Structures are given as structure tokens and as C-alpha cells.
Structure 1
Amino acid sequence: MKLRDSYKPYPPAAMISIIVLVFALILSLTLAPVGHAASAGSGDGKDKPLRPFPQHMSYAEGSIKPSHVTQKQMDAEVALLYDQYKLKYIKKNPHNSNQYYVWYNDGGWNGDAITVSEAHGYGMMITALMAGHDSEAKKIFDGMYRFFRAHPSEIHPDLMAWQQADRDGAIIDVNGTDSAIDGDMDIAYALLLADKQWGSSGAINYKNEAVKVINAIMESEVHPEHFHLQLGDWVPISDSEPSFKPASRPSDFMLQHLKEFYKATGDERWLNVIETTYGIIHDVHTSYSPQTGLLPDFVYRDLDGTYKPVSEFEWTSESGHFLESEFDGAYNYNSCRTPWRIASDFLLTGDKRAYDQLSTLNKFVSEKHNAPHEVWSGYSLDGQTKLSEWDGGLEFTAPFMVSAMIDKSNQQWLNDLWDYHTEEANSTAVEWRYYYGNSIRLLSMIVVSGNWWSPTGVAATDIAGHAAEEDIVKSLAEGVVNGYPNGKFKPDEAYRARSLPLCWRRR
């Protein structure tokens, strides 16, 4: 195409994204960017939230929300669930009054342990998102940050030791003082949220602290050659047999987090991690769960470079299984989170690289079960074998609510799932409703109600089916463009100098 073609009022659709980038590159030298990665919108560090609950986000074009309840009713339900969650699980450190943690041992299965980094990451994200509803949100969040900093991994001090217990008048790290990647990723994301919620000019520079954690994850929890997410910072220095270095866990595939990490740091290795992660989802789905879309608890990189469920290998461990149980290669208590984690990425970014897997999963589960309470707590990847006697566990049902949002064909299923997860239907306080399910339920309801938001941008809402869709989504995911504030890109409209800064983000 000749240069003069770029001055047409309505340029060819396929060239829209190229023209946006060319003009934006020139203008970025003289025009102040909107949505700058270094904390645009940061406030004065006071308690007043800048993005108070509720937020009512516009998600990716084609996505849906429950149609039988109003937005006001959804907000009220989320607020109620949060209040119950806070009452039951958010605890002040009895030995240090300026620290808070999330109590996770209501099931009584973990000895005297009181929390883990997984729970802490959940709590920090939830608290940042619910500011505006909870006037104590910043105080609690800062207390959680201080608890996190009081319990560093012995391997990398910017990551969190994975488990704590209350012993002899102090909360101490137990069962090893190394990290688990899921908690670290959520803590980093929560700090990015806090930067946009309260600003970073107060006592805690949330943005700087987030970048420290993100860089530590890259340094100690990402495979340096293959760029898959590893299980924790203990993996690179482990000489155990079997080796855990080729292993990854699909429940850690927080793709939207990864995109935010790239935007926050500019470290292009995160783009490699994103590509690898999408590739694992695609390969495992097409090769091992083409009819169900179910992903295993753990995958392992074979010598030929492909990632496979760990059940495809023979393990020489004493137990005969890979790490946790005989169901490590099935859809179990780790991977039950994948519909929530992966679908959230589509809703916020519009990226369709995992759309087929999610669509297959939605079709499988909605056709297999007549109602949410019938959903199994664990499946073989072919969907034929039930792994537990329990049905209707919130940790399994709630993530399906998020994945159902990707397409209008799931409307009735989504409505049914919403009703099943209300406080009235399944009370948080009920003894046998435990931390894990209650936490995942609340986080999923935050997403479904439209109150899950990105620290840096919104999904494109007007590009579905457009010739430039793929280019725009990729540029959005990589932080090159932001779109207009309402998520629109107006791909068939002529661009003018005064509108380009709305879309452009300086690297």
C-alpha cells in the first residue's frame, strides 16, 4: 500500500490497526499518553477509592450476564457474599494488629495451619475490588500486604512462603518456606489493582511493589527456556525425581494476569509465557479432551516439546502418582478453577485463542447435567468417570458460571448457575461450605456481575467479525493500544490526531 492511501477518510478495514499504530507512533513523541503504564490515575494515597464498587464493566462483544436479575440485584448479592466472606475468613493477626490474613482451615484438614499464599492472593484481590462497599478495604488490604511481606519465601524474598500456622504466640511459616506460583500471581495482580484503586503516593507504593513481585515470578517461577509457568520458586533448584521442571498447572493459567504483568514491566518474556500458555491449552484440549474441554490438574512437557496430562507418563515416586493424587492427570480440585481463570481473560481482553476450549467445555457440562447441583466434583478428561461422591461443590460449579458468559447460547445455564450461587441458596456460614468453594464463588460472582476490572484497560466491544479484529485484540493484549474509555475502537471511522491519544499507550 502506498503512503498516500493512509490519508483516506475511511481506510481499508484490514489496514486499520496498522494505520493506528503508525500515526500513534508519530504522535506519541509530542502528545501526552492516556493510560500510561506508570500509574495513570493514581491518587493521593488516601482511603477514598478511585474505582469504587460497583464498576459495571463492559466485557467483550458477544458476552452475556444473567438476564433474569437486575444489575442492582447482582451488586447487592455480591456485596452480601463479600460481607459473609469477610466475617468468616478475614482475620486480624492476634500477635500484630496491623496485619490481616485469610483463614483457610475451616475444613480442619490442614492441622494447625491458618492460611496459605493462595488464600492470601484471593483476599487481596477481593478487598481491592470491594473498596467503596467496604470502608475498611484499604486498611485491610494494607494489613494483608504487611502480612505478605512478613512471610517471604526463603528462596526469593519478593515471593510469599506458601503456608503459615499460629504456634507458641506467633504466626510462622510451616512445611517449607518456599512459594506457590498461584498465590504470588494473585498478590501481584492485587497490587496492580490497589495502585489504580488508591494510588501509589501513600505509605505503600503499590505499583513498585507489584513490579517487584512480577519480576520475582519471572526470575524464579517461569521456565527460562520453555516459558511455561512452574509450580513455585522451589522448582528450579529442586533435584527431585521425578523432575518438576517440565511441569505446569493449568489452574495457574491466569492469562489476563500475564498480560497485565507485561504491561506493568515491559518485559517481553511475558509475551512468550502468554504464547506458551495458550499453546498448552490448545494442544491438551485438541489431543486429550476434544469432546469435553476439560483440562488436567497438571501437565508435563515431553521430550518432543508437547505438553501432556501427567497421567500419560509413568512415575517412579513412592505413591506412583505425580504429586498430589492418582487424579493429577484429571479435572480435579486444581483445574476446577480453569473456566474462571481462562474465561476472565476473554471477557476482559476479547482474546479468542482459548475460545474453542471454553465453548466445548460449556457444551459438555451443560448437556451432561440438568442443574448445577448435579455437577460432579471431578471428572476424567473424557468426562465419563466421576472422581468423587460429592456433587454440586461450589469450587466446581462457580467457575462454570464465568465460562458460560462467553456466548448467548449459555443464557439459561448461566441464569441457573447464578441462582445456585446466591447466599440464600448456599449460605457462606454453613459448616460444610468451606473456604475454597466460598472464595472461588465470590470471585466468580464478582466477574459475572460485571465488577471484575483490569488495572490498565477494558475489552474491545465493537470489533467482533471485523477484518482488523485479530490485530486489534493482539495490540490490546500487548499494551500497544487501549481503545476508547468505553471499550470501543470504532474500526470503520476515520482517525484524527485528537482521538489517537485515547487509544495509544507509550511503551
Structure 2
Amino acid sequence: MKMIPLSAMTVLASLMVGSGINTANAEETSMDDAWSAYVSRFVAEEGRVIDTGNNNISHSEGQGWGMMLAQHYGDQRTFKQLWRWTRRELGRQDVSLFSWRYDPNETPPVRDNNNAADGDLFIAWALHLAGQRWENRNYTNASNSIRRAIADELVVDLADYTVLLPGLEGFKHSDNVDINLSYWFVPAMQDFADIAPEEPWEALINDGVKLLDETTFGQYRLPTDWVTLTDDGAVSPADEWEPRFSFDAVRIPLYFAWGQRDEAASIGSIMAFWNDPSNQPASAWIDVQSDERADYPISRGVKAIRAYVNNETLPDPVPTEDDDYFSATLLLLAHMANDMQ
């Protein structure tokens, strides 16, 4: 697979002609320097978003994030490439959802057909926004199909909560479900609630806030990445994952603040943990049971989330050499959220 070569931070359209990506006409090349740099570093020619911190795999989450950002920056050409690759390589034949992982070093590259609900949400919302922005009915129809599949296949009721299953397989058990509250992408759910009020989107948002009030663990009262909800309403860190506030849960404040639903107790606890003078620089993760912490700090992308929720000036959006795919993506997403307020 040929990668786009790393360029200077400012990637001018005139230098991109013939590169195979973003060689659009004048009105499509007025992209922000940060997005240009992001594309040159993390998007392959064919439209695959490269997770540089995870053995250069790709996943539905990254494709959806890339599509969201491409439409935000008005980059129609890259959006088309991202959507074409996503549909071709990750699209499932049995349901309008997407396999979650693509590893170019394996044969076949997609070995697990299970989906990831957050990736499905990102893709559906990106298509919804792109359909509106570019008046493209095909994008809107695809978004509607994915949205309905999520509502029909991944939303369940348990213990007076409406919850989002992380995937079709492996998360719903006889008397409990494993959930990940960082999969509650509130801005998409709000738009979908407006489009289809008969679907359970509003209930998902409200019950996500309620669950964040309940999922406060350890001395800092933080949510863990993965949580088990039992049929009698009890919540606890999920047994099959480390009991950490970590790389999933750091996204929770962004998604709920973006949707202006950041009143939950856990979000206040997260901000207190990040802002604690005795925890500077803020630890990238913490085990809520043992209090073990990462020996390295939060990334610039997470710092951007902290700044956004604190209503402070965000870090410069142009990714640096120290920003891997995950940090750079969170950085641009925080700026996208800020731009949309």
C-alpha cells in the first residue's frame, strides 16, 4: 500500500496535484492547514485512515472520524475516498453496519466481522452531515440505513435503562450487558433524535447521562472504559477489561459536552482528576481499584478535550511529530466541536 509522503505542515493544493488525494478543484482545496497535515500523515491514497499507534491497522472508528473531519473541512474528494474504501472493505453484507478492524498484514485483512457501535455512529453522522452540506441524497440514504440498523440491532433495554450495545456479538449476556460509555456519541444521537423521534435516541442520551452519574469508581470517582450493567441495575467495572479510566473514557467529556449534556457526575470527576494540582502533568490513565497510574501524561489530543470542556483556548490544531493518529484525531475533533458551538 502506498502512503502519502509526509509533507510540511502546510500542504498547499498546488503541491498535491498528482498525489492521488485531495487534488480537487479550487473550492475544494481551501482546507485548513491542520486537516492538510492530518491527511498527509494518516490517510492512505485509497482512503484508509492509518492508526499509527496500533501497527498501522484501520478500523471503523477511524474511518468515521476521518469522514466527519473531511466534511467539516469541506474536503469532498477525501470524503468520497474514505467512504468508498469504508463501504468496500468494512461494509457487512447482512446488515448496514461495518466490521470494526482491518489489518493489512493479515489475510484476509478483516478476520473479525463484528462491528463497533461507535464507528457505526460516526460513519452514519458523517454521511448525514455530508448529505446536507453537499446536497447528496445518496449520502443521506446511506446514513438513514445505518442509523436504523443501529437502532434496530444495537439498542436494548435493561434495568430501566436504554443502552447501546458496543457490537452485535459478545456484549449481551444472560443477566447483564457490557457497555462502553465512550460509545455514546451525543451529537449524532441528538441529530438522529430530530430526524427519527420514534427511534430510541433521546432515551439513549438521557440514560447515558444517568449511567454516568452511577459509574463513579475509586478515590477519584472516575468511570472505567468498560462497565457491566446487571439486570437489577447494578454497575461495576467490567471483569474482562482492566478497571481503568483510560483511552476510551477520556473521550466521554468531549462527546457529552459537544452535545451540551455534560452535567453528569463522572464528567465533573474527570475534569477534577485532569485539573488536580497533585496530578500534573495529568496521567494518561489510572486504575480505579489499585490507583496505579500511567508513567506518561495525557496526549495533546486529550489536553484539547480538557481545554474544550474547561472553555479554555485549545492547543494549536496542526499535528506535531509527537502526535500519533489517536492524539491528532482527538485534537481535530475538539476543534471541530468548538467550531460547531
TM-score past 0.5 threshold = yes
Q: Deviations over 1:380-401 (max 9, x none)?
A: 348x824211124234323212
Superposed, 1:175-254 pairs within 5 Å as 175-201=111-137, 205-224=138-157, 226-235=161-170, 246-254=177-185
Decide which of 28, 31, 38 is 1:85's aligned counterpart.
38
| Preserved contact between residue 178 and residue 229 of structure 2 (Cα < 8 Å) | yes
Give the structure-1-normalised TM-score. Answer: 0.56
For 2:194 and 2:184, the matched residues in 1 are separated by: 17
Superposed, 1:269-418 pairs within 5 Å as 269-285=200-216, 288=217, 292=220, 294-310=222-238, 321-323=239-241, 327=242, 329-346=243-260, 351=261, 353-354=263-264, 356-368=265-277, 374-381=281-288, 385-405=291-311, 414-415=312-313, 418=314
For 2:26 and 2:102, the matched residues in 1 are separated by: 29
| Preserved contact between residue 222 and residue 229 of structure 1 (Cα < 8 Å) | yes
Matched, 1:428 2:320: yes
For 1:345 and 1:251, the matched residues in 2 are separated by: 13
Q: Deviations over 1:346-392 (max 9, x none)?
A: 1xxxx4643x5434433342233586xx111102348x824211124
Q: Deviations over 1:436-471 (max 9, x none)?
A: 111111111232xx3136xxxxxxxxxxxxxxxxxx
Secondary structure at the aligned position of 2:166 is classed as coil
| Structure ranking higher on relative contact order (CA contacts 8 Å, 6+ apart) | 1
| Preserved contact between residue 189 and residue 201 of structure 2 (Cα < 8 Å) | yes
For 1:422 and 1:118, the matched residues in 2 are separated by: 20
Aligned length: 315
AA paired with 1:229? Answer: L
For 1:306 and 1:367, the matched residues in 2 are separated by: 29
AA paired with 1:207? Answer: T
Q: Name stretches of at least 5 consecutive residues in structure 1 with no aligned partner.
A: 1-45, 54-77, 94-99, 132-136, 311-320, 406-413, 454-507
Deviation at 1:167, TM superposition (A): 5.9
Residues 365 and 114 of structure 1, relative CA distance in 2, 3 Å threshold? closer
Give the structure-2-normalised TM-score. Answer: 0.81
Residues 126 and 293 of structure 1, relative CA distance in 2, 3 Å threshold? farther
For 1:174 and 1:404, the matched residues in 2 are separated by: 39
Decide which of 142, 148, 152 is 2:86's aligned counterpart.
148
| Preserved contact between residue 115 and residue 167 of structure 2 (Cα < 8 Å) | yes
| Preserved contact between residue 43 and residue 49 of structure 2 (Cα < 8 Å) | yes
Report % sequence identity.
Answer: 19
AA paired with 1:345? Answer: G
For 2:195 and 2:247, the matched residues in 1 are separated by: 31
| Preserved contact between residue 250 and residue 302 of structure 2 (Cα < 8 Å) | yes
AA paired with 1:101? Answer: R
Matched, 1:262 2:193: yes
AA paired with 1:214? Answer: R
Residues 388 and 156 of structure 1, relative CA distance in 2, 3 Å threshold? farther
AA paired with 2:287? Answer: S
For 1:48 and 1:196, the matched residues in 2 are separated by: 17
Residues 210 and 154 of structure 1, relative CA distance in 2, 3 Å threshold? closer
Deviation at 1:224, TM superposition (A): 4.9
Secondary structure at the aligned position of 2:215 is classed as helix
| Preserved contact between residue 252 and residue 267 of structure 2 (Cα < 8 Å) | no
AA paired with 1:393? Answer: S
Decide which of 326, 334, 339 is 1:444's aligned counterpart.
334
| Preserved contact between residue 185 and residue 255 of structure 2 (Cα < 8 Å) | yes
For 2:26 and 2:142, the matched residues in 1 are separated by: 18
CA root-mean-square deviation: 3.1
For 1:396 and 1:244, the matched residues in 2 are separated by: 35
For 2:193 and 2:294, the matched residues in 1 are separated by: 39
For 1:284 and 1:269, the matched residues in 2 are separated by: 22
Residues 386 and 154 of structure 1, relative CA distance in 2, 3 Å threshold? same
For 1:302 and 1:275, the matched residues in 2 are separated by: 18
Secondary structure at the aligned position of 2:32 is classed as helix
Superposed, 1:100-111 pairs within 5 Å as 100-104=47-51, 106-107=52-53, 109-110=54-55
Residues 178 and 364 of structure 1, relative CA distance in 2, 3 Å threshold? closer
Deviation at 1:299, TM superposition (A): 1.0
For 2:233 and 2:326, the matched residues in 1 are separated by: 34
AA paired with 2:235? Answer: Y
Decide which of 40, 47, 59 is 1:116's aligned counterpart.
59
